[in-house]
Amino acid sequence: MAHGALALALLVFGFVYYVYHTAERKGWFLTKAPYYIYTDRATGLKLGDPVMLMGLDVGQITKIETMPADEFDHNIYVEFEIKYPYCEYLWTQGSHAKVATADFWGKRVIEVTKGTGGYPTYTFYSLREVAIAEAQNWPDLSKWVLAQVILDPTGTNLLANAKAPLTNLVRCNTLHFAC
């Protein structure tokens, strides 16, 4: 009886060990940042295909859908995720995603480029859109920061930079901002 229990315990331990290391190898425990692009056609793309950054496999395609028939600007919606820490290379300036040819047989991949400036495109903080009047009543505005650049209504003059603390809300003439 004791030998059977020991054999069962070893079998369960081996299975758990296998599942854990498989999950670790496939990146199941890594944080992933979702992104999407639109493309003209999905030829050569399939779910699970790699996303490449500087020649490295940094993520995978998670969703491919056609757009509604009355959507004339975009044909195909492709959603993908980038594993941490590679999502830190994507910035608001210089980062682009495109569908690129992977081989001679028609396979294609999503290729993203490293950013050159601006702000990170993905932060692991919760974002909220609030009215300025509501935010002005918060107790400690220095604990909150803007999630985007705020321009005046003409779109030409900078009122506040992204990541600026909310202590200068009077300068913002826009109706809403993300913080």
Give 35-90 as a 3 state SS string. EEEEECCCCCCCCCCEEEECCEEEEEEEEEEECCCCCCCCCEEEEEEEECCHHHHC
Residue with tokens 């493309």: 39
State the pLDDT at residue 177: 43
State the pLDDT at residue 121: 74
Amino acid identity of 47?
Answer: L
Q: Residue 45 — pLDDT band, cuts 50, 70, 90? A: very high
State the pLDDT at residue 67: 92
Contact assessment for residue 171 and residue 120, using Cβ atoms and an 8 Å cutoff: no
Task: List the beta bridge partners of residue 51.
Answer: 59, 110
* Residue 23, token pair as written in the block: 């999950």
State the pLDDT at residue 127: 65
State the pLDDT at residue 171: 52
What torsion, rounded to 10 degrees, do the Cα atoms 68, 74, 80, 86 define? Answer: -160
Does pLDDT of 58 surpass 60? yes
State the pLDDT at residue 1: 65
State the pLDDT at residue 126: 64
| Mean pLDDT of the region 145-154 | 77
- Higher pLDDT residue, 1 or 138? 138
Does pLDDT of 150 surpass 80? no
CA distances (Å), 145 to each of 72, 86, 99, 125, in order? 37, 24, 34, 11
Task: In whole angstroms, give the CA distance from residue 59 to residue 52.
Answer: 7
Share above pLDDT 70 across residues of the chain, in percent, rounded to a whole number? 89
Considering only CA atoms, give the Rg of the chain.
23
State the pLDDT at residue 125: 63
Contact assessment for residue 76 and residue 99, using Cβ atoms and an 8 Å cutoff: no
* Residue 90, token pair as written in the block: 């994507």
Instruction: Please tell me whether the overall predicted TM-score, pTM, comes out greater than 0.75 for this model.
Output: no
Q: Residue 175 — pLDDT band, cuts 50, 70, 90? A: very low
Q: Give tens-digit pLDDT for 76-89.
A: 999 999 988 888 88
Q: Residue 53 — pLDDT band, cuts 50, 70, 90? A: very high
